[in-house]
Chains A and B, each alone.
Chain A
Amino acid sequence: MEILMAIVIGFLFMSAVYLMLSKSLLRIIIGTGLLSHGAHLLILSVSGLKDKAAAPLLGEHAKDYVDPLPQALILTAIVISFGVTAFFLVLAYRAYQELGTDNVDQMRGTEGNE
């Protein structure tokens, strides 16, 4: 199971890198979304994916529970990446309005230095 997940996560990273190397800003943002999906799935899988373990709720009275720590880490990481992505999207919108392009190649030029 972990091997399958590793391959899937690898594909996610691959697509993320490919998208982030493209020129359109929206494709880049989609790439960052895929990148964070990959990272979150990775946290979940590295601690082991047990087949017959209960959800981490003490009411379940199970013999074996899944590791609760990575789930808390993912939850934190998800909201953080939500915040950052929302900010990034609005920034991209603003940049499109002000700079008139969504092509990062045309966002060159730093005024003030030769």
Chain B
Amino acid sequence: MNNLLILPILIPLLTAIVLMMLSKYVNAQRVLSAVSTVATIAASIVLIRKVSVNGIQTLNLSNWEAPFGITLVSDMLSALLVTTTSIITFVVILYSFKSIGRDRERFYYYPVVQFLLVGVNGAFTTGDIFNLFVFFEVMLMSSYVLLVLGGTKGQLRESIKYILVNIISSALFVITVAYLYSVVGTLNMADISMKISEVEQPAILTVIAILFLLVFGLKGAIFPLYFWLPGSYFAPPTPILALFGALLTKVGVYSIMRTYTLFFYHDTGYTHQILSVLAIITIVMGCIGALAYWDVKKIIIYNIIIAVGVILFGVSVMTPGSLEGSVYYIIHDMIIKSALFLLVGVMAFIVGTSDLKKMGGLIKDYPWLGWTFFVAALSLAGIPPLSGFIGKLLIVRGSFEGEAYVGAGIILASSLAVLYSVLKIFLNGIWGKPKEYKVTSKGNVNYLWFTSAILVGLAVCYGFGADVIRPLISQAAEVLVDPNIYIQAVLKE
């Protein structure tokens, strides 16, 4: 059944429409959104199986031949990302039951989360550059609503900035697509790639490549364009923050991966050099932020920026090893970031603030929470058997092969900064002298801990089961290394 690859978009879309009619019945909304997200996960896992057996899956919508209609393309990279996205959304929905609060739940919280899932899954699956823009907007529009939902002062203030930045980047996206269309005369990504290799990327296409870097860099928070992220991500409540931190920037990173491996691989000396320099500075800036703050949310937020830098550095080196490492790392990072945000959310829930200086000694009352956080922290830093290790190892090895020694050194050094920043949370918040905090119901805390532990468990499995998953990752990286596989799958020559 070839319609399989539209299911991860269609199921949440239909669910969202149904959920909008049930806005008064919170329990029905909870059950329905959880059940449908499980269905989305199931569909995407079947999709992974299908892609691993039969190769890249494509679907020409309403039977229009490839360059003329919209084509959905599911290669292994997008199938893996779609699955990861759906799993994270499922866990976040479970977490929301006890943390987001009735008021938000009654005002269309669950439908908007489903729309966000539509946007992200669609952006990962589409094979058309303008359709990518539309799915970006679906995702962004839901993120605006999620960011401002509740209407506290901080949220209103940060939403204004976030929306303004994204309006500008969307306008830039439209402009860039217009330029690209005027040069190549097509919108289908495989066809664009073919046309670009026919004209061998003249200078104007290099300009367009840099414009794409600006557009997706604004979404994915790379060095000079990440200024909006720390404030905006600080405003919303924990589950929304976990969704944003895990998914939104990664869509930007994925789009850079796609465009820079599928379109603009002819003049890597210029474009990829810039990407690599920006990635390195992104890592450094993220490290500075992560070390500077004494706020648990801010520390993890700056860790997002570091991870974006690491992944993009792997992309910029363009050796098979580093690309494989990037694929490994992006999935690891999505899982572990959402897990960490949920865990620090539990900590902030217990203490009543996210200020690290007001926390302390949580291990006495909540030992399981403490140790789960410890595992997640080590996993984030990339301690060997855990999930962050293999990705970073492959990226570093790949960059040594590509003779990018400076970047590799900085990635290794950044791991230290990452480890220090999360252990700072561990040593001060979970260890240390117990401080006074308002007693909250332990049942709630245990529930929230349990849901976040699902993701940590998943991250641990991802680390230990690296061998099992390796063939899938290699298959995903293959397409990035050789764009012809992608083109042939779509245009079927």
Which residues of A come within 8 Å of B, CB atoms?
20, 25, 28, 32, 35-36, 38-40, 42-43, 46-47, 69-70, 73, 76-77, 80-81, 83-84, 87-88, 91-92, 94-95, 98-99, 104, 107, 110-114
Instruction: For A43, list chain B residues within 8 Å (CB).
Output: 174, 177-178, 181
Q: Does B4 contact A (CB under 8 A)?
A: no
Supply 10 further A-B pairs (C-beta < 8 A) apart from A25-B160, A95-B157, A95-B160.
Answer: A20-B168, A35-B168, A36-B171, A38-B171, A39-B171, A40-B174, A42-B178, A84-B141, A110-B235, A111-B154
Flag if A32 contacts B164 (CB, 8 Å).
Answer: yes
Which residues of B come within 8 Å of A, CB atoms?
130, 133-134, 137, 141, 144-145, 148, 151, 153-154, 156-160, 163-164, 167-168, 170-171, 174-175, 177-179, 181-182, 187, 231, 234-235, 293-295, 297-298, 353-355
Instruction: For B171, list chain A residues within 8 Å (CB).
Output: 32, 35-36, 38-39, 81
Closest chain B residue to A74 by CB distance? B174
Which of B153, B177, B235, B355 touches A98 (beta carbons < 8 Å)? B153
Which of A20, A40, A70 touches B181 (beta carbons < 8 Å)? A70
Flag if A83 contacts B141 (CB, 8 Å).
Answer: yes
Flag if B174 contacts A28 (CB, 8 Å).
Answer: no
Instruction: For B235, list chain A residues within 8 Å (CB).
Output: 110
Which of A38, A47, A76 touches B134 (beta carbons < 8 Å)? A76
- B interface, over-half SS: helix
Instruction: For A107, list chain B residues within 8 Å (CB).
Output: 157, 160
What separation, in Å, do the CA atoms of A98 and B178 have in the docked complex?
39
Flag if B141 contacts A98 (CB, 8 Å).
Answer: no
Least CB distance, B138 to chain A, in whole angstroms: 9
Instruction: For A81, list chain B residues within 8 Å (CB).
Output: 167, 170-171
Least CB distance, A11 to chain B, in whole angstroms: 15
Which of B148, B168, B177, B295 touches A113 (beta carbons < 8 Å)? B295
Instruction: For B354, list chain A residues within 8 Å (CB).
Output: 112
What separation, in Å, do the CA atoms of A81 and B168 have in the docked complex?
11
Flag if A112 contacts B160 (CB, 8 Å).
Answer: no
What separation, in Å, do the CA atoms of A98 and B157 have in the docked complex?
10
Instruction: For A39, list chain B residues within 8 Å (CB).
Output: 171, 174-175, 178
What separation, in Å, do the CA atoms of A91 and B150 have in the docked complex?
12
Least CB distance, B356 to chain A, in whole angstroms: 10
Instruction: For B293, list chain A residues within 8 Å (CB).
Output: 113
Which of B137, B156, B160, B298 touches A80 (beta carbons < 8 Å)? B137
Closest chain B residue to A100 by CB distance? B153
Instruction: For B231, list chain A residues within 8 Å (CB).
Output: 110
Least CB distance, B431 to chain A, in whole angstroms: 22
Closest chain B residue to A109 by CB distance? B157
A112-B355, A113-B293 given; A77·B174 CB < 8 A = yes
Instruction: For A91, list chain B residues within 8 Å (CB).
Output: 144, 148, 156, 159-160, 163
Least CB distance, A80 to chain B, in whole angstroms: 5
Flag if A114 contacts B294 (CB, 8 Å).
Answer: yes
Q: Could you name 28 residue pairs across A and B whose Cβ atoms are closer than 8 Å?
A: A20-B164, A32-B164, A32-B171, A36-B167, A39-B171, A39-B175, A43-B178, A43-B181, A73-B181, A76-B134, A80-B137, A84-B144, A87-B145, A87-B163, A91-B159, A91-B160, A94-B151, A98-B151, A104-B160, A107-B157, A110-B158, A110-B231, A110-B234, A111-B154, A112-B154, A112-B234, A112-B295, A112-B354
